[in-house]
Amino acid sequence: MKFFIDTADVDAIRELHDLGMVDGVTTNPSLILKSGRNILEVTKEICSFVSGPVSAEVVALKAEDMIAEGRKLAEIAPNIAVKVPLTWDGLKTCKVLSGEGFMVNVTLCFSANQALIAAKAGATFISPFIGRLDDINLEGLDLIGDIRTIYDNYDFETQILAASIRTANHVKDCALIGADVITAPPAVIKALASHVLTDKGLDQFTADWAKTGQKII
Protein backbone atom coordinates (compact mmCIF):
# COMPACT_ATOMS: atom_id res chain seq x y z
CA MET A 1 0.00 0.00 0.00
CA LYS A 2 1.26 3.47 -0.86
CA PHE A 3 1.57 6.21 1.75
CA PHE A 4 0.62 9.74 0.73
CA ILE A 5 1.19 12.53 3.26
CA ASP A 6 -1.76 14.84 3.82
CA THR A 7 -0.11 18.17 4.49
CA ALA A 8 1.48 21.22 2.87
CA ASP A 9 4.13 21.43 5.61
CA VAL A 10 7.35 21.02 3.62
CA ASP A 11 9.51 20.23 6.66
CA ALA A 12 7.16 17.47 7.80
CA ILE A 13 7.10 15.97 4.30
CA ARG A 14 10.90 16.05 4.06
CA GLU A 15 11.31 14.25 7.39
CA LEU A 16 9.13 11.34 6.30
CA HIS A 17 10.51 11.42 2.76
CA ASP A 18 14.02 10.84 4.10
CA LEU A 19 12.74 7.64 5.74
CA GLY A 20 11.18 6.39 2.51
CA MET A 21 7.66 6.87 3.84
CA VAL A 22 6.39 9.26 1.16
CA ASP A 23 4.95 7.82 -2.05
CA GLY A 24 3.02 11.02 -2.73
CA VAL A 25 1.41 14.08 -1.15
CA THR A 26 -2.12 15.42 -0.94
CA THR A 27 -3.04 19.02 -0.26
CA ASN A 28 -6.31 20.95 -0.16
CA PRO A 29 -7.35 24.57 0.39
CA SER A 30 -7.49 24.09 4.17
CA LEU A 31 -3.94 22.70 4.27
CA ILE A 32 -2.68 25.52 2.03
CA LEU A 33 -4.25 28.01 4.46
CA LYS A 34 -2.55 26.27 7.39
CA SER A 35 0.82 26.45 5.62
CA GLY A 36 0.48 30.22 5.19
CA ARG A 37 2.09 30.00 1.76
CA ASN A 38 1.16 30.60 -1.87
CA ILE A 39 -0.31 27.47 -3.44
CA LEU A 40 1.86 27.57 -6.56
CA GLU A 41 5.03 28.24 -4.59
CA VAL A 42 4.62 25.56 -1.92
CA THR A 43 3.37 22.95 -4.38
CA LYS A 44 6.38 23.55 -6.62
CA GLU A 45 8.72 23.10 -3.65
CA ILE A 46 7.04 19.83 -2.68
CA CYS A 47 7.32 18.55 -6.26
CA SER A 48 11.02 19.41 -6.29
CA PHE A 49 11.81 16.45 -4.01
CA VAL A 50 8.71 14.21 -4.06
CA SER A 51 8.65 12.18 -7.26
CA GLY A 52 5.25 10.56 -6.69
CA PRO A 53 1.86 12.18 -7.28
CA VAL A 54 1.28 15.52 -5.57
CA SER A 55 -2.38 16.51 -5.42
CA ALA A 56 -3.22 20.20 -5.87
CA GLU A 57 -6.87 21.16 -5.67
CA VAL A 58 -8.92 23.48 -7.85
CA VAL A 59 -11.17 25.98 -6.07
CA ALA A 60 -13.61 26.95 -8.83
CA LEU A 61 -17.10 25.45 -8.86
CA LYS A 62 -17.91 25.47 -12.58
CA ALA A 63 -16.34 23.01 -15.02
CA GLU A 64 -14.95 25.62 -17.40
CA ASP A 65 -13.15 27.39 -14.58
CA MET A 66 -12.04 24.13 -12.94
CA ILE A 67 -10.48 22.99 -16.20
CA ALA A 68 -8.55 26.26 -16.53
CA GLU A 69 -7.32 26.04 -12.93
CA GLY A 70 -6.42 22.38 -13.38
CA ARG A 71 -4.32 23.12 -16.43
CA LYS A 72 -2.56 25.90 -14.52
CA LEU A 73 -1.81 23.61 -11.58
CA ALA A 74 -0.58 20.86 -13.91
CA GLU A 75 2.04 23.28 -15.26
CA ILE A 76 3.80 23.19 -11.88
CA ALA A 77 5.35 19.74 -12.44
CA PRO A 78 4.71 16.51 -14.36
CA ASN A 79 3.73 14.66 -11.16
CA ILE A 80 0.81 16.95 -10.27
CA ALA A 81 -2.51 15.21 -9.73
CA VAL A 82 -5.25 17.76 -10.22
CA LYS A 83 -7.75 17.41 -7.39
CA VAL A 84 -11.42 18.04 -8.20
CA PRO A 85 -14.58 17.66 -6.08
CA LEU A 86 -17.06 14.89 -6.72
CA THR A 87 -19.71 17.10 -8.29
CA TRP A 88 -21.11 16.96 -11.80
CA ASP A 89 -18.84 19.83 -12.81
CA GLY A 90 -15.94 18.05 -11.14
CA LEU A 91 -16.65 14.92 -13.17
CA LYS A 92 -16.76 16.95 -16.38
CA THR A 93 -13.39 18.41 -15.42
CA CYS A 94 -12.05 14.95 -14.64
CA LYS A 95 -13.07 13.67 -18.05
CA VAL A 96 -11.40 16.56 -19.88
CA LEU A 97 -8.16 16.62 -17.86
CA SER A 98 -7.71 12.85 -17.79
CA GLY A 99 -8.30 12.86 -21.54
CA GLU A 100 -5.45 15.34 -21.86
CA GLY A 101 -3.15 12.96 -20.01
CA PHE A 102 -3.20 14.57 -16.57
CA MET A 103 -3.61 12.64 -13.32
CA VAL A 104 -6.89 13.50 -11.60
CA ASN A 105 -7.79 12.91 -7.95
CA VAL A 106 -11.55 13.05 -7.40
CA THR A 107 -12.13 14.04 -3.79
CA LEU A 108 -14.95 14.32 -1.23
CA CYS A 109 -16.34 10.88 -2.08
CA PHE A 110 -18.91 9.55 0.38
CA SER A 111 -20.71 6.78 -1.51
CA ALA A 112 -19.94 3.77 -3.67
CA ASN A 113 -22.08 5.20 -6.47
CA GLN A 114 -19.93 8.34 -6.48
CA ALA A 115 -16.81 6.19 -6.73
CA LEU A 116 -18.32 4.22 -9.60
CA ILE A 117 -19.15 7.28 -11.66
CA ALA A 118 -15.74 8.84 -10.95
CA ALA A 119 -14.04 5.74 -12.34
CA LYS A 120 -16.25 5.96 -15.43
CA ALA A 121 -15.10 9.59 -15.84
CA GLY A 122 -11.45 8.50 -15.89
CA ALA A 123 -10.30 9.35 -12.37
CA THR A 124 -6.74 8.33 -11.53
CA PHE A 125 -7.57 8.37 -7.82
CA ILE A 126 -10.83 8.32 -5.88
CA SER A 127 -10.66 9.79 -2.37
CA PRO A 128 -13.33 8.37 -0.03
CA PHE A 129 -13.38 10.15 3.33
CA ILE A 130 -13.40 7.62 6.17
CA GLY A 131 -13.25 9.87 9.22
CA ARG A 132 -16.00 12.23 8.10
CA LEU A 133 -18.37 9.29 7.62
CA ASP A 134 -17.45 8.01 11.09
CA ASP A 135 -18.29 11.49 12.42
CA ILE A 136 -21.94 11.04 11.36
CA ASN A 137 -22.17 7.49 12.75
CA LEU A 138 -21.60 5.69 9.44
CA GLU A 139 -18.84 3.12 8.88
CA GLY A 140 -16.25 4.81 6.71
CA LEU A 141 -14.34 1.57 6.26
CA ASP A 142 -17.42 -0.12 4.81
CA LEU A 143 -17.22 2.37 1.95
CA ILE A 144 -13.62 1.35 1.21
CA GLY A 145 -14.72 -2.28 1.05
CA ASP A 146 -17.66 -1.51 -1.24
CA ILE A 147 -15.49 0.46 -3.65
CA ARG A 148 -12.85 -2.29 -3.66
CA THR A 149 -15.47 -4.86 -4.62
CA ILE A 150 -16.94 -2.71 -7.39
CA TYR A 151 -13.59 -1.78 -8.88
CA ASP A 152 -12.42 -5.40 -8.81
CA ASN A 153 -15.66 -6.59 -10.39
CA TYR A 154 -15.07 -4.45 -13.45
CA ASP A 155 -11.28 -4.05 -13.51
CA PHE A 156 -11.39 -0.29 -13.08
CA GLU A 157 -7.89 1.18 -13.00
CA THR A 158 -8.87 4.03 -10.65
CA GLN A 159 -6.86 3.74 -7.43
CA ILE A 160 -8.63 3.87 -4.06
CA LEU A 161 -6.99 6.65 -2.07
CA ALA A 162 -8.41 6.36 1.45
CA ALA A 163 -8.62 9.83 2.98
CA SER A 164 -9.74 11.50 6.20
CA ILE A 165 -7.55 9.00 8.04
CA ARG A 166 -7.66 9.72 11.77
CA THR A 167 -5.96 6.75 13.46
CA ALA A 168 -3.34 4.05 13.03
CA ASN A 169 -6.18 1.51 13.06
CA HIS A 170 -7.69 3.23 10.03
CA VAL A 171 -4.42 2.61 8.19
CA LYS A 172 -4.30 -1.06 9.21
CA ASP A 173 -7.92 -1.67 8.26
CA CYS A 174 -7.48 0.01 4.87
CA ALA A 175 -4.49 -2.23 4.21
CA LEU A 176 -6.54 -5.31 5.11
CA ILE A 177 -9.41 -4.24 2.85
CA GLY A 178 -7.06 -3.53 -0.03
CA ALA A 179 -6.99 0.25 -0.48
CA ASP A 180 -4.31 1.16 -3.00
CA VAL A 181 -3.23 4.28 -1.12
CA ILE A 182 -3.85 6.00 2.20
CA THR A 183 -3.27 9.67 2.78
CA ALA A 184 -2.76 10.72 6.37
CA PRO A 185 -1.27 13.53 8.43
CA PRO A 186 2.37 13.07 9.48
CA ALA A 187 1.36 12.37 13.09
CA VAL A 188 -0.74 9.37 12.05
CA ILE A 189 2.07 7.94 9.92
CA LYS A 190 4.46 8.27 12.86
CA ALA A 191 1.93 6.62 15.17
CA LEU A 192 2.21 3.41 13.12
CA ALA A 193 5.56 2.76 14.83
CA SER A 194 4.18 3.13 18.36
CA HIS A 195 3.09 0.41 20.74
CA VAL A 196 2.91 0.49 24.53
CA LEU A 197 4.55 -2.93 24.80
CA THR A 198 7.47 -1.79 22.66
CA ASP A 199 8.00 1.11 25.05
CA LYS A 200 7.67 -1.17 28.07
CA GLY A 201 10.10 -3.70 26.66
CA LEU A 202 12.64 -1.04 25.78
CA ASP A 203 12.46 0.42 29.28
CA GLN A 204 13.14 -3.04 30.72
CA PHE A 205 16.06 -3.71 28.38
CA THR A 206 17.55 -0.28 29.18
CA ALA A 207 17.28 -0.85 32.92
CA ASP A 208 18.81 -4.34 32.72
CA TRP A 209 21.64 -3.13 30.50
CA ALA A 210 22.51 -0.40 32.99
CA LYS A 211 22.89 -3.07 35.67
CA THR A 212 25.53 -4.89 33.62
CA GLY A 213 27.84 -1.90 33.75
CA GLN A 214 28.88 -2.60 30.16
CA LYS A 215 29.35 -0.39 27.11
CA ILE A 216 29.27 -1.32 23.45
CA ILE A 217 31.31 1.69 22.35
Q: What pLDDT is attached to residue 100? A: 98
Cβ atoms of residues 159 and 181 within 8 Å: yes
List the domain boundaries for the chain.
2-212
Please, what sign has the CA dihedral across residues 138, 139, 145, 148? positive
Give pTM, 2 decimals: 0.96
CB under 8 Å, gap of 24 or more: what pairs does 106-114 form?
107/28, 107/55, 107/57, 107/83, 107/163, 109/143, 110/86, 110/143, 111/143, 112/143, 112/146, 112/147, 112/150, 114/86
Q: What pLDDT is attached to residue 126? A: 98
The hierarchical CATH code for the domain 2-212 is 3.20.20.70
Residues belonging to the active site: 83
- Going from the first residue of the chain to its last (217 residues), give the mean pLDDT of each consecutive group of 10, the final group possibly shorter: 98 97 97 96 98 98 98 98 98 98 98 98 98 97 98 98 98 98 98 97 98 97
Q: What pLDDT is attached to residue 88? A: 98
pLDDT in tens, 188-213: 999 999 999 999 999 999 999 999 99
**CA torsion angle for 127, 118, 35, 52 (degrees, to 10)?**
80
Q: What pLDDT is attached to residue 11? A: 98
From the number of C-beta atoms within 10 Å of its C-beta (0-12, 13-18, 19+), residue 6 rates as buried
**CA torsion angle for 185, 188, 190, 195 (degrees, to 10)?**
180
